[in-house]
Structure 1
Amino acid sequence: MARTRVSPLAGGLAAAVAVGLAVTCWVVFPPEVAGRAIAARPDVDLSLPWPAQGQASAEVQGLGSLGSHGDRRPVPIASVTKVMTAYVVLKDHPLGPDDAGPQITVDEQAEAESTSPDESTAPVRAGRSLSERDLLALMLVPSGNNVARLLARWDAGSQEAFVAKMNREAAALGMTDTTYTGASGVEDSTTSTAVDQLRLAREAMKNPVIRAIVAKASLRIDGVPGAVVNTNTLLGRNGVIGLKTGSSTAAGGALMWAAESRGGALILGVVLHQSPGGTPGQGLRAALENSEKLIAAIQRELPAATR
């Protein structure tokens, strides 16, 4: 068979196309070096004080990515898990911005777990009815693990069935490096990445009920003694309006956060795996401190970068 001859011009064009495709693939699917992904160029390039350890990712809605930093492998996320729990509950049982929702009866298991010394809980009593909205607040604000599991049982019949829903939602959102194994985050086997949790933050902040609850520094709920205080102590500083803390020995400290820029844009970020291996309190302090530095720098640098 005669060999087909390719002209120099055609060969040059083919090579150029190949190079172009390679560059495109490098940007869209950045390569990995020793398990660490080389981040694609951010849409808004700022000089930011990214945490020295763990991983972080941030973006400005309407402008784009501010970049990601650190190891991209899945790590335990502790109570940041509860954002997905709230997302699934509200998808199955939607509430209007001012709706309280159906009354839910506290079961004996939720009361028994409320006195656990080994995890964060909310003081609920068996037989008492609380609204869906109040239970979401008890889960998200003081980070009640027992309430997260109560909501899971109410929604799906069992925590196991609810977790299957969580993982289906994660897959639907493109959270390919996320695995949920419980509704509260107490299990170290619930793992994710800052990039994946940032995808969830975008969706969570679209829900007016989640957005209103996570902005509360404290609140009072009928039938619950005293004020319920938010574990996110950054609220009200540097424009912070949410979202959710997490801490455990394995996870260290974690924070999914939302802030409003001086121009009104929504800034979202996630910081994970801060000071793991120590006490949960030490990890949470590190996550809050490092997040505050990052948020303050974004608020300071963003106006000049977007002129």
Structure 2
Amino acid sequence: MTTHAPGREAESDAALTGDRPADPAGGSDAAAARLARAKLYRRRRIVVFSALALVLALLVSGGVYAGRALGAPIPAAVPLVTAPQPVAAAAQQLALPGFGGYAVGAVGFDGLLATGSADAALPTASITKIITALVVLDEHPVAAGEGGPDIAYTEADVELYWDMIAQNGSVAPVEPGISLTLVQSLEAMLLPSGNNYAISISNWAFGSQEAFLERARTWLADHGFAHTAIADSSGLSLDNTSTPAELVRLGELALENPVVAAIVATQEVELPELGPIENSNKLLGSRGVDGIKTGTTDDAANLLFSADVTVGEESVTIVGVLLGAPDHASLRAAVAALLDSVAPGFREVTAFDEGTDLASYATPWGQTAHAEASEAARLLVWSDTPVEVSVDAESITTAADGTEVGSATVTAGSRSVVVPLRLDASVEDPGPWWRLGNPGALDAPVAARHD
């Protein structure tokens, strides 16, 4: 039988339990060591758990950022506009008449191209018959290509014929018992400037000269003719007056009426039972002249004229008047010279060609594209009128090649043309990696750019 000393047994028990017997001499040092180890373990747990919390927080915040970055709108690319500079030619030199009052305009162009005493009221003579024709057709409209109602002529109309001859007025033949359509009657009035037909037609339309004049004056006021006076339907009275500026407007109204425009452009017609009658406008058919009306007083020759001139692929209608020429030969020479100098003053200006870059784009992620003109911009211009280009291009985010992104407006006076702008390349989404790597760019403000 083995026996142990009591002290050994105590040591063995302490070893098994992990406890050490107190050492009276060093017990405080052991306790301090155990406390230090406990603090160290506690700090390590704090560090570990703090690190785990940080990683978890980063994972959570990273997920939120990634979600925001991937779902945020990309910044818009703003256009850098490169509009062409204004274009202007030298002023057209004109051969102006050295006498009378005159004005020249063009249909579709603002203002007058040339003037001389444009606001002076002068006798209009047989140009008055244009007012008569427009007022009658306003009361009795006739469609283009039709003859209108019939007018029966009687002995009273024959008496008017002889009365006009006695007053040294221009006439057209008439016979009692004949019937002419309204258009044929207007041809007899306008082509040879038949004073007798001016009276016969207006009496037929309104019942009397007084009733006609009342209607004609209302018509003039309604159309803004503040400086035009009418005293009879034929123009025989010198109290029929107007200004060159207002007569240009009257000429434009005459050309807007298809019946009047067709008649004044006719060289000659054959009237039933009356035979051929010729146009008194001897410039008709030359230099593009296609109207409008002569007028003659004892002291002066007048002409309200129109002419079509071709400029590139377009046609320009010039309308003008010359009042107070000493005779018709001088009148025709002056008008011919004026037209010869006015016509070359119209120019077709190409502001830019098809495919011209008018704006460019550069995205923060490195893509570039241009806004190109989808077609050439050409504009008909008079003389030194400047041609200006304004570009309106939109900001874009993503867009396919060929997308319309704005327009360019070309302006010369009151005339303008608008050309769409199209992208010459696609602008695509930059993708997730650029979004995640450029957080600041996703919130970048959009600002317009100009050259």
Decide whether the 8 Å contact of 1:58 with 1:198 is kept in 2: yes
The percent of aligned pairs where both chains have the same amino acid is 31
Matches within 5 A, 1:264-279: 264-275=315-326
Q: For the Cα contact (< 8 Å) 1:217–1:233, is it kept in 2?
A: no
* Number of the residue aligned with 2:214: 164
2:330 counterpart residue number:
286
- Pair 1:111-2:155 in alignment: no
**Aligned position for 1:145:** 195
Match of 1:100 in 2: 147
The residue that corresponds to 2:104 in the other structure is 58
Structure exhibiting the larger radius of gyration computed from Cα positions: 2
Q: Indicate conservation of the 8 Å contact 1:49/1:297, yes or no.
A: yes
Q: What is the deviation of 1:301?
A: 2.9
Q: Does 2:93 correspond to 1:47?
A: yes
- 1:128-277 equivalences in 2 (<5 Å): 128-225=178-275, 227-250=276-299, 252-263=300-311, 264-275=315-326
More strand by share: 2
Query: Hey, what does 1:8 align to over in structure 2?
Result: none
Distance across 2 between alignment mates of 1:242 and 1:178: 20
- Counterpart of 1:273, as a letter, is G
Contact 1:107 1:150 in 2 (8 A): no
Q: Deviations over 1:44-90 (max 9, x none)?
A: 95322222111111111122320311263211111000000010011
SS across alignment from 1:303: strand
Letter in 2 for 1:195: A
What amino acid maps onto 1:289 in structure 2? Answer: A
The corresponding residue for 1:90 is 137
Q: How big is the shift at 1:296?
A: 1.7
Which one is further off, 291-300 or 241-250? Answer: 291-300
1:205 aligned partner, one-letter code: L
| Deviations 1:185-240 (CA, angstroms, capped at 9, x unpaired) | 01111111111111111111101111111001111111213x21100011111111
| Cα distance in 2, alignment partners of residues 47 and 166 from structure 1 | 39
> What is the rounded CA distance, in whole Å, between the counterparts of 1:289 and 1:112 in structure 2?
37
After superposing the two structures, state which structure 1 stretch, 88-97 or 100-109, moved more. 100-109
| TM superposition shift of 1:306 | 4.0
List per-residue Cα deviations over 1:156-176 (Å, max 9, x = no partner). Answer: 101121112111111122211
Cα distance in structure 1, aligned partners of 2:338 and 2:118: 17
Q: Which residue of 2 aligns with 1:300?
A: 344
Residue aligning to 1:21? none
How many Å separate the matches in 2 of 1:82 and 1:141? Answer: 10
Question: Aligned with 2:113: secondary structure?
Answer: strand
- Can you list the C-alpha shifts for 1:131-168, whole angstroms capped at 9, x where unaligned? 00000001110100000000110111011211121111
1 CA distance for matches of 2:335 and 2:205?
Answer: 33
Distance 1:261 1:291 in 2: 15
Gaps of 5+ in 1: 1-43, 276-282
Consecutive unaligned residues in structure 2, runs of 5 or more: 1-89, 349-380, 384-451
Instruction: Give the partner amino acid of 2:325.
Output: Q
Distance in 2 between residues matched to 1:215 and 1:298, nearest whole Å: 21
1:262 is displaced (CA, Å) by 1.3
CA distance in 1 between counterparts of 2:199 and 2:91 reads 41
- Matched length: 255
1:92-113 Cα distance to aligned partner (Å, 9 max, x none): 1111111101110113232123
Decide whether the 8 Å contact of 2:118 with 2:245 is kept in 1: no
- What residue in structure 2 maps to residue 68 of structure 1? 115
Residues 284, 160 of structure 1: CA spacing in aligned structure 2 closer, same or farther, 3 A cutoff?
farther
Alpha-carbon distance between aligned partners in 2 of 1:45 and 1:156, rounded to the nearest angstrom:
49
**Which amino acid counterpart does residue 238 of structure 2 have in structure 1?**
D
Q: In structure 2, how many angstroms separate the alpha carbons of the residues matched to 1:149 and 1:284?
A: 25
Q: Which amino acid aligns with 2:283?
A: L
Alpha carbons 1:143, 1:231 under 8 Å: kept: yes
Amino acid across the alignment from 1:269: G
Q: Deviations along 1:22-61, whole A, 9 cap, x unmatched?
A: xxxxxxxxxxxxxxxxxxxxxx953222221111111111
Q: Which amino acid aligns with 1:90?
A: L
CA-CA distance at 1:293 after TM superposition: 1.4
CA distance in 2 between counterparts of 1:52 and 1:153 reads 40
In the TM superposition, residue 273 of structure 1 has moved relative to its aligned partner by: 1.5
Secondary structure class of the residue paired with 1:68: strand
